[in-house]
Structure 1
Amino acid sequence: MQTTFQTDAIVIGAGPVGLFTVFQCGMVRIRCHVVDVLDEIGGQCTALYPEKPIFDVPGFPRIEAGRLIEQLHAQAEPFHPVFHLGQQVDRLERLEAAGTWRVATSKGTVIEAPVVIIAAGVGAFGPNRPPIDGLEAYEGSSVFYMVGRREQFRGKRVVIAGGGDSAVDWAVSLAEVAESVQVVHRRAKFRCAPDSYDKLKALEGAGKVELVVPYQLAGLEGDGGALSAVVVADLDGVDRRLPADVLLPFFGLSTNLGPIAEWGLEMGPKGTIAIDQSTAETSAKGIFAVGDIASYPHKLKLILTGFAEAAQAAHAAFAYVHPGEALHFEHSTTTGVPAGA
């Protein structure tokens, strides 16, 4: 017999913003069930770069992504969230008589609540693979689209392809452990934070990183899945051979909102969901969106922005969960974590 869970809010997405949403909801007496397509919490921070350092979380000059998830989980844990992992929300319907929303997942889980908070990040994701012949033979042994543990690249000749934040941040980080780091980019201009670029140039000046620009990937050399060299070509098609043990192509993620795109919500640019910036509410009453999936004019896509949206959503959701009851906002330094949460 199928069990239907009843709760106050359904949070879709267990990444950093989803976890902080649970905390903010708990602080205003909103209980949460959390659904995520991945088998563990943390979103991209866990699945793609658990050891990547993050520098723009307030109070932490530097914190690794995996450690941030551990801290956010500990912060949310007093409110006893229920996690439904390894499943996707397939269906959403409005139960007008009850004034609630019902979601059903790919594993048959059914949850009902007056509030849905979408914290799905960029949606389901996978790496954008470079168009190189024979690439598949090296994937998982010499070609990686994420860095799980920095130590696996100690003493290795590493070639990084890409010019965004991930490419630059990992070049800076792996320069501390790798035998060599070469960064291949099709132009001299990088699309990354200015401070990260300054660190990259400093490492280039110290001879710890080589910038191979303007070049692009052209081929791989090796045997049995073991890479020996990466072949690159300049804008005139002239090849250059880079001795390498590892190739890390960082060309962004291929993302897909999946069923969320079919829910009739007003959409924003590039597959995002439009929200009211003051409340994080979408075009549907009782449905909120926070984090990278939410959009409004001049939004900054930062984790701290998502954290602020989580707080706004929780406070706006209070009226749906506790109708007719006034919310008297108090700072956590005054209230602490509510007893019996």
Structure 2
Amino acid sequence: MANGQTQQTDVIIVGAGPVGLFTVFECGMVRLNCHVVDVLDDAGGQCTALYPEKPIYDIPGFPRIEAAELIVRLKAQAAAFRPVYHLGEQVQTLEPRTGGFWRLTTSKGTVLQAKAVIIAAGVGAFGPNRPPLPGIEAYEGKSVFYYVTQRETFRGKRIVIAGGGDTAVDWALSLAEIAGRVSVIHRRDRFRAAPDSEARLKALAKEGRIDLVVPYQLHGLEGDDGKLTAVTVATLDGQTRRIEADILLPFFGLSMSLGPIADWGLALERNQVEVDPATGATNKAGIFGVGDVVTYPGKLKLILTGFAEAAIAARSAYALIHPETPLHFEYSTTSGVPDA
């Protein structure tokens, strides 16, 4: 359909991460059609863009599932309801229209209209926190990477990992199985990772399978034409050390922004959207929120929590769109999957 021509649907979902995809399914279960908008070029959010090969352990029914596989399954589950995806498009404006509708426009000129909007934007627009190293841009994408999307890319390489959180520790443990050498740089001896992971890291260090370089921080890079040969690290009092390396993986978290969502007049707390946990409703009638982008007392930032929120928001959206037809609650074992 040509840009600028309004496309009508029941629900607009902002965000195609795991919770956004499950929201499509839950909306379909109450016979609501969905259009999904995401700034990334593929569905899956962080699971696709940042850690597709990272295992997830708290998805019900799956003792272990890789992030990419979870997205494949969620897309297949949602596909029964024929969602329309608008990928590689950032939401620009959201405006109220007569009749209780919301009109949404994207960066590519797509115009959508619906009575319900469900924000499932995860952490919002995200990008890596880059270390302040001179000339690092020349190495990015060649020998400096902020995400691991294919572990095999690093087989046999000399890898330096900088950071002390779960991402740094988890990838150190994983890459130690295939890398030529793994060195972990952190400014203190204690890590911010899960205790069991930290214990495994230090056990591998004692076995000589991982080098723990503490307390140090990144100081400089050596190499030519984007090809890294060594990383220089330094203590707080200026002592330096040179580590030969092919790859640098700085894991200093994400720089997150709600982007245009912050300008929609929604009640926010610490860059998160406040919602009523009983309904998923924001302070704007017809706009709901699910997943990591929302907050309320007792909120747990877990994918499975977002899944439950998706079911609640879908039913709230139905009540808004079809107030004259109360929804009779049924378990899926009774109702089956409705025809799209």
Q: If the TM-score is normalised by the length of the shorter chain, which range does it land in? A: over 0.9
State the alpha-carbon separation in 2 of the partners of residues 335 and 193 from structure 1: 41
Between stretches 34-43 and 321-330, larger displacement belongs to 321-330
Residue of structure 2 in register with 1:100 after alignment: 101
* Equivalent residue number for residue 51 of structure 2: 49
Q: Where do residues 146-185 of structure 1 align in structure 2 (5 Å cutoff)?
A: 146-185=147-186
In structure 2, the gaps of 5 or more residues are none
Distance in 2, Cα, partners of 1:242 & 1:41 = 38
TM-score by length of 2: 0.96
User: How big is the shift at 1:28?
Assistant: 1.1
* Counterpart-to-counterpart distance in 2, 1:245 and 1:125: 26
Q: CA deviation at 1:200?
A: 2.1
How high is the TM-score relative to the length of structure 1? 0.96
SS at match of 1:242: strand
Which of 80, 83, 99 is residue 82 of structure 2 equivalent to?
A: 80
Quote the RMSD (CA, aligned, Å): 1.3
Instruction: Name the counterpart of 1:284.
Output: 284
CA deviation vs aligned residue, 1:45-64 (integer Å, no higher than 9, x gap): 11122112222222222211
Distance 1:145 1:74 in 2: 29
Counterpart for residue 39 of structure 1: 41
Distance 1:209 1:118 in 2: 42
3-state SS in 2 of match to 1:320: helix
2:121 is paired with a residue of what secondary structure? coil
- Is contact 1:268–1:296 with CA below 8 Å preserved after alignment? no
C-alpha distance in 2 between matches for 1:54 and 1:64:
6
Paired AA for residue 281 in structure 1: A
Match for 1:213: what amino acid? V
- Corresponding letter in the other structure for 2:112: I
What is the match of residue 294 of structure 1?
A: 294
Matched ranges for 1:261-272 at <5 A? 261-269=262-270, 271-272=271-272
Whole-angstrom CA distance in 1 between matches of 2:310 and 2:251: 29
In 1, the alpha carbon distance for the partners of 2:305 and 2:210 equals: 32
Aligned length: 338
- Cα distance, 1:127 vs. partner? 0.9
Counterpart residue identity of residue 79, structure 2: E
What's the secondary structure of 1:148's corresponding residue?
coil
Residues 16 and 72, structure 1, Cα contact 8 Å, conserved in 2? yes
- Partners of 1:42 and 1:253 lie apart in 2 by 17
Q: Once the two structures are superposed, what CA deviation does each residue of 1:52-100 show, in whole Å capped at 9, x if it has no partner?
A: 22222222222111111111100100010000111111111111x3211
Distance in 1 (CA, whole Å) between partners of 2:21 and 2:172 is 29
After alignment, is 276-285 or 9-18 more displaced? 276-285
Q: Which moves more between the two structures, 58-67 or 5-14?
A: 58-67
Name 1:218's counterpart in structure 2.
219
Deviations 1:229-258 (A, max 9, x none): 111111221011111110000111112211
After TM superposition, give the deviation of residue 213 of structure 1 in Å: 1.4
Q: What does residue 67 of structure 1 align with?
A: 69
Residue 233 in structure 1 maps to residue 217 in structure 2: no
Alignment of 1:187-336 (within 5 A): 187-269=188-270, 271-336=271-336
The one-letter code of the counterpart of 2:134 is D
> What amino acid is the match of 1:279?
T
